[in-house]
Amino acid sequence: MKKTSTRLADGRELIYYDLRDDAVREAVDRRPLEPTVTTSGIRRDALLGDQVAIASHRQGRTYHPPADECPLCPSRDGRLSEIPDATYDVVVFENRFPSLVGDFGRCEVVCFTSDHDASFADLTEEQAGLVLDAWTDRTAELSHLPAVEQVFCFENRGAEIGVTLGHPHGQIYAYPFTTPRTALMLRSLAAHLEATGGENLFDTVVARELADQRVVLEGEHWVAFVPYAAHWPYEVHLYPRRRVPDLLALDEAARTEFPQVYLELLRRFDRIFDGGTGGGSAAGEPPTPYIAAWHQAPFGTLEEFEGVSRDDFALHLELFTIRRTSGKLKFLAGSESGMNVFINDVPPEAAARRLREVASS
């Protein structure tokens, strides 16, 4: 992997990640951009104890542009975009409309490929491996920023999820706090450590799933399963077999196998609702919308979670779709949105069975 860092016309950082060591990245951003103006701030909810990012400037962000005006495509044929070069493998740059900025963290965009019409599932194993390298490098770099306590790499895919740009891409949020979801995991981890005299909860969960009927696929270094208490109609958790706290700690064997396992999972997701015939949808239905979310240990202090260290946390990826059946979405209505009590219409065992049935061809 070759890494080349440059600056866009408004001062934002852009980084090329190339498969070839001889790649040359000298293109200059020729757009007449003014420096970005952001209004991001963090407010704490006194009753719930969590934080809310207030970012009114995001109302003006780019919204579903036509393909020939996509800001994530390379700059070519006289059209200038966020990526100055005419080609790229993987690119990461500071979001022009960030939810978090400065003392409140940082937001970045990750472009998986220059091919506007592709998806992550269309990548080769080599390309997917390069994305993993980019995620890992950005986790390392962002963890050194004074304001950053947790790094979150994720992909939103599909208009149903709220994606405003169709180009295959993900994002990285660097939070100035430990996120509420991670804090819940750490509290459960601490309670289990105390109750069992030192047993790790993540290890217990993975061992239980491996012994049950919800495993979707297994590799030598990774295992994927539908969790016992899945919140979403089709939800898969992907764990390395050797517990590590973050992407930085993955060994070479796990890094090598990851693209094989992850691409297979994504391709199965695109076949859930098509009767197993391929093509990603039934009766012209759009490809399966999903969220893919990496969970990594915070880099800040864990003093409030008594007895827990970073090494006790287990890196894992959660992949889920909001589509519950063909043509129907799972909406977060009263119980979910009002009380955070999920109601799942698809039994996890049935979801796992379906995901085993649709092994990609």
Please tell me the distance from the alpha carbon of residue 306 to that of residue 186, in angstroms, as a whole number: 9
How far, CA to CA in Å, does 163 sit from each of 121, 145, 190, 291? 17, 28, 36, 10
- Could you tell me where the beta strands, DSSP code E, fall in 264-305? 290-295
CB atoms within 10 A of CB 344: 17
Cβ contact 60:97 at 8 Å = yes
Shortest CA distance to 223 belongs to which of 231, 234, 208?
A: 208
- Rounded to 5°, the CA angle 48-39-56 comes to 70
Please tell me the distance from the alpha carbon of residue 307 to that of residue 324, in angstroms, as a whole number: 39
For residue 258, the one-letter residue type is: F
Partners of 239 in the beta sheet? 223
Partners of 224 in the beta sheet? 217, 238
Encoding tokens for residue 89?
């493998």
- Could you tell me where the beta strands, DSSP code E, fall in 75-212? 90-94, 106-111, 150-157, 169-175
Please tell me the distance from the alpha carbon of residue 118 to that of residue 341, in angstroms, as a whole number: 36
The catalytic residues are 169
Encoding tokens for residue 251?
């060994």
C-alpha dihedral (215, 216, 222, 226), degrees to nearest 10: -60
Name every residue whose Cβ is closer than 8 Å to that of residue 99 and which is 6 or more positions away in sequence. 40, 53, 55, 58, 107, 173
